[in-house]
């Protein structure tokens, strides 16, 4: 499919080919699904929200619920205020959520709809809430849209003078439900009680019960978001996805915040657990020490297969930074590191990982705001041994005959990824197993018959 990608690289500033991201409303919709009895609402056309729901449904293999203001030509010219007011009334009458989380689209942003004014004019039923955030599709990516919606919940609901409570706030960043469950496990083992915002771990990975529920159990309760103003500290995971929520809770409620990378890899998980140890004054339990030891043992056993193998890593910025940390710990050499989300903070963080591992940057390409066409050109000029990233890299893998490990968002052509964590010691162990399997499968495929050994 991509066999005709040219090797010659031409500088492009105004043209994106085969994008390495999707638009802000996708992330905003996902964040809203992590709040209890919340219905995400797209202030734009039906076509926009249909795409956003489809992408999330294809990744999670679960229905992603959302409503729309259903713009037509009239709303596009005269504004969508009337559409929003009628939509909100219909949604509360028919579906009865506790909260509607409105996000904008490029259409409503371009015509200049003032959602803050529209929401103030709504005649809401008792006990019902409407929040909003601005997520134009031509700015940022789904990762920044996720952060904007989390910040929107904080702006509307977090109480400035909330009573002090012996809990922390945890912003998990743009991760899968499996990662949320691993975070909850680590918190429980470290005896730390936390308010997690958002928590999509039931909305998009719930079990089959035979009974459909539009609002599954779970999600962050509204009361917990209100109480965030009284937590003793907020840990915000994901240097890009959680930056805006961290700034918002600090400026609105004066809560102490700390922005951390996703706890991926040995060192990243160690740092997160030590932070929890500091907050709880509890020692790290033997169970986690044993998990760490087993992971180190796996990395030692397999290091000869990873050593100096070149890898291209691509996807969401926070996830890619974590994957680079994992790859360096395994002994892999990250040759190309790319994200479609703009922001030079990504480049700084990735380079810092190379420096921490004393790895030279000679010949390494690290880029924010990149696209898959450019990544493919890099690989055509100097091949790699392994790809790690989303399903959208499979055409490159096929065209260049490179083994691939799927990780991150979205994974559209495989099943089960959303259930498995990438964070923590189990996440690192799983990635190591997948990468090792891909490299060894390639060796078995290409080696001479006399070298096809049963024992490796």
Supply the DSSP string of 188-214, one letter for each residue.
HHTT--EEESS--TTTTTPPP-SS--S
Helix (H, G, I), strand (E, B) or coil at 285: coil
Q: State the pTM of this model.
A: 0.95
- What tokens were used for 219? 């999600």
Q: 433-454 pLDDT, tens per residue?
A: 999 999 999 998 999 988 888 8
Domain ranges of the chain: 24-157, 168-206+213-280, 301-451
CA distance 408 to 315: 7
Q: What percent of the chain has pLDDT over 90?
A: 82
Instruction: Determine the Cα–Cα distance for residues 293 and 124; give it in Å rounded to an integer.
Output: 55
Give pairs for 6-13: CB < 8 Å, separation 24+: 6/377, 6/380, 7/377, 7/380, 7/381, 8/377, 9/374, 9/377, 9/378, 9/381, 12/374
The structure tokens listed for 430 are: 């799983």
How is residue 152 written in tokens? Answer: 């929107």
How many CA atoms, within 13 angstroms, populate the side-chain half-sphere of residue 53? 16
pLDDT digits (tens, 9 = 90+) for 79-97: 788 899 999 999 999 999 9
Q: Is 234 helix (H, G, I), strand (E, B) or coil?
A: strand
Q: What is the mean pLDDT of residues 242-260?
A: 96
Fold match between domain 168-206+213-280 and domain 301-451: yes
Q: How many other C-beta atoms are found inside a 10 Å radius of the C-beta of residue 420?
A: 18
User: Which helix (DSSP H) or strand (DSSP E) does residue 332 occupy?
Assistant: none
As a whole number of angstroms, the distance between CA 103 and CA 149 comes to 7
Encode pLDDT of 91-117 as tens digits: 999 999 999 999 999 889 888 889 999
Segment 396-420, tens digit of pLDDT: 999 999 999 999 999 999 999 999 9
Neighbouring-strand partners of residue 212? none
pLDDT at position 58 over 70: yes
On whether the CB atoms of residues 375 and 333 are closer than 8 A, the answer is no
Q: Which CATH architecture has domain 24-157?
A: 3-Layer(aba) Sandwich (3.40)
> Which of 182-186, 369-373, 451-455 has the least mean pLDDT?
451-455
- Number of H-type helices and E-type strands within the chain: 17, 13
Contact 409, 59 (CB under 8 A): yes
- What stretches of 315-415 adopt beta strand conformation (E)? 333-339, 365-368, 386-389, 404-406
Contact 22, 141 (CB under 8 A): yes
- In CATH terms, is domain 301-451 a member of 3.40.50.1980? yes
As a whole number of angstroms, the distance between CA 242 and CA 69 comes to: 28
Q: Which CATH architecture has domain 168-206+213-280?
A: 3-Layer(aba) Sandwich (3.40)
Q: Which two three-digit tokens encode residue 168? A: 């922390």
112 Cα distance to chain centroid:
28
């Amino acid at each position: 499919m991509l066999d005709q990608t040219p090797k010659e690289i031409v500088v492009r500033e105004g043209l994106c080919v085969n994008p390495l991201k999707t638009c802000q409303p996708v992330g905003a919709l996902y964040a809203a699904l992590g709040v209890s009895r919340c219905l995400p609402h797209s202030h734009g056309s039906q076509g926009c929200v249909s795409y956003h729901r489809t992408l999330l449904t294809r990744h999670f293999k679960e229905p992603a619920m959302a409503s729309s203001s259903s713009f037509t030509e009239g709303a596009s010219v005269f504004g969508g205020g009337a559409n929003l007011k009628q939509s909100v009334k219909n949604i509360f009458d028919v579906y009865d959520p506790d909260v509607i989380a409105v996000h904008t689209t490029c259409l409503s942003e371009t015509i200049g709809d003032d959602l803050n004014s529209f929401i103030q004019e709504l005649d809401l039923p008792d006990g019902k809430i409407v929040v909003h955030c601005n997520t134009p599709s031509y700015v940022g990516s789904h990762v920044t849209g996720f952060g904007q919606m989390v910040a929107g919940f904080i702006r509307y609901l977090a109480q400035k003078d909330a009573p002090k409570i012996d809990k922390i706030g945890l912003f998990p960043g743009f991760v899968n439900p499996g990662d949320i469950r691993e975070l909850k496990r680590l918190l429980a083992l470290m005896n730390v009680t936390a308010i997690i915002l958002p928590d999509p771990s039931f909305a998009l990975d719930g079990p089959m019960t035979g009974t459909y529920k539009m609002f599954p159990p779970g999600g962050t309760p509204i009361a917990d978001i209100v109480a965030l103003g009284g937590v003793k500290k907020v840990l915000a995971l994901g240097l890009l996805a959680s930056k805006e929520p961290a700034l918002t809770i600090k400026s609105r409620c004066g809560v102490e915040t700390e922005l951390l990378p996703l706890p991926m890899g040995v060192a990243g998980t160690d740092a997160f657990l030590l932070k929890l140890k500091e907050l709880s004054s509890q020692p790290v339990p033997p169970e986690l020490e044993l998990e760490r030891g087993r992971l180190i043992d796996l990395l030692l056993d397999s290091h000869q297969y990873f050593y100096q193998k070149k890898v291209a890593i691509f996807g969401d910025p926070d996830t890619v930074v974590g994957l680079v940390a994992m790859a360096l710990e395994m002994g892999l050499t990250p040759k190309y590191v790319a994200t479609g989300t703009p922001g030079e903070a990504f480049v700084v963080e990735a380079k810092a990982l190379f420096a921490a591992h004393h790895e030279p940057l000679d010949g390494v390409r690290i880029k924010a705001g990149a696209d898959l066409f450019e990544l493919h050109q890099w690989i055509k000029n100097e091949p790699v041994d392994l790809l790690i990233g989303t399903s959208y890299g499979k055409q490159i893998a096929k065209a260049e005959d490179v083994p691939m490990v799927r990780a991150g968002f979205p994974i559209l052509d495989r099943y089960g990824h959303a259930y498995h964590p990438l964070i923590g010691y189990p996440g690192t162990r799983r990635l190591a197993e997948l990468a090792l399997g891909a490299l060894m499968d390639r060796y078995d495929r290409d080696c001479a018959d006399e070298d096809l050994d049963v024992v490796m």
